[in-house]
Homo-oligomer: A and B are copies of this chain.
Amino acid sequence: MKVTEIGERSFVERLCQRLTRRFGWDPRLKVGPGDDAAVVSVGDCLVVLTVDGQIEGVHFRRSWMPFYDLGWKAVAISISDLTSMGARPLCLLLSVALSGEETLEELDQLYDGAADACLRFSCLFVGGDTSKSGDGLWVVSTALGLVNGSFWTRSGGKDGDRLIVTGSLGEAAAGLLLLEKAVGTNNDPCVLRFRRPEPPADLLPLLRSFSLHAAIDISDGLVLDASRLAFSSGLEAVIDLPSVPLSKSLKEACRLLDHNPLPLALTGGEDYQLLMAVSASDADAVVTAITQFGGSATVIGSLRQGTPGAVIGRDQEGKPVRLSGGYQHF
């Protein structure tokens, strides 16, 4: 059977089980394959590790993606994974494969974008490697973060928890559509969101003062990532559709695109916002604290007993609708 036949999610679940059987027994391994990042104990510290690739023709096209932004984004998506585990960034490595036809100026921009993102998120750029690529350009970033004491995983959600999302959703997906369809301008806020994601790492000190039960970053769309969190927690997720935060920028882009904003917010992906499961009694306080800090957050639903990993939408009239979709490579 081919990977395309079994599909990405089943393939990854199967792989994680195989690897966990072989390495999961080690007491130094606190979180193994299958979450946003791994957690390993190093002396008195808990180190959080994550890796992500940006591949030409898969994640981006060179004509849409300035080199600076590619460097920025490669770093930012790894910072997003660290944030979702509750880890502050420590350092980062960048593995870059090139055709060799790139100019020094283009590669300076790539590394400047990566270095600026590292500085933005208080992360040291400590090394990497360069190589010839068979075809196209790709950038793989590995980030290492630290947690003090506790960390968050996808699996800690409890029955009755509220689901809170930071920021607003769907803008990056709208930005990608604007680029694909050559609609609007290069300065559209949605295009910027697609090219230079800003994971809510600044919220970490504040969020760590609450007892979050579970967290995941929204990289493949709210529905798919809510499903992952719910599945890992053995629960189902309910999403109150009218609550899903849609920005003015998204609505304007969707007018240009003649597209409904809600599906982009639900399944578009590349939001790099945080989805958290918090006890019902804490939810309002978390939202208020984030707002007072200058950020934004919304209670968009809850977790409950049911089919693990199912995601149920509730429309304006409260009618349930089973949700699916999201970005999967295979």
Contacts and interface: CB of A to CB of B under 8 A. Distances in A.
A128 B51 CA distance: 6
Given A93-B49, A142-B51, A1 B124 contact: no
Given A42-B146, A104-B6, A49 B132 contact: no
Interface in A185-243: none
Contacts of A14: 104
Given A45-B45, A135-B135, A50 B127 contact: yes
Contacts of A325: none
A129 interface: yes
Contacts of A26: 124
Interface stretch (A28-36, A257-265, A282-290): A28-36
A28 B124 contact: yes
B131 A58 contact: yes
A11 interface: yes
A51 B119 contact: no
A130 to B, nearest CB: 6
Nearest to A21: B115
Interface stretch (A94-102, A163-171, A246-254, A296-304): A94-102
A65 interface: no
Contacts of A134: 55-58, 135-136, 138
Interface in A46-104: 47, 49-53, 55-59, 90-91, 93-95, 97-98, 100-104
Work out how many copies of this chain go into the complex: 2
Interface string A10-28: 0110110011001100101
A125 interface: yes
21 contacts: A2-B100, A2-B101, A3-B104, A4-B101, A15-B107, A15-B130, A22-B115, A22-B119, A22-B125, A23-B115, A28-B91, A37-B127, A43-B43, A47-B47, A49-B127, A56-B134, A58-B132, A131-B329, A132-B330, A134-B135, A135-B136
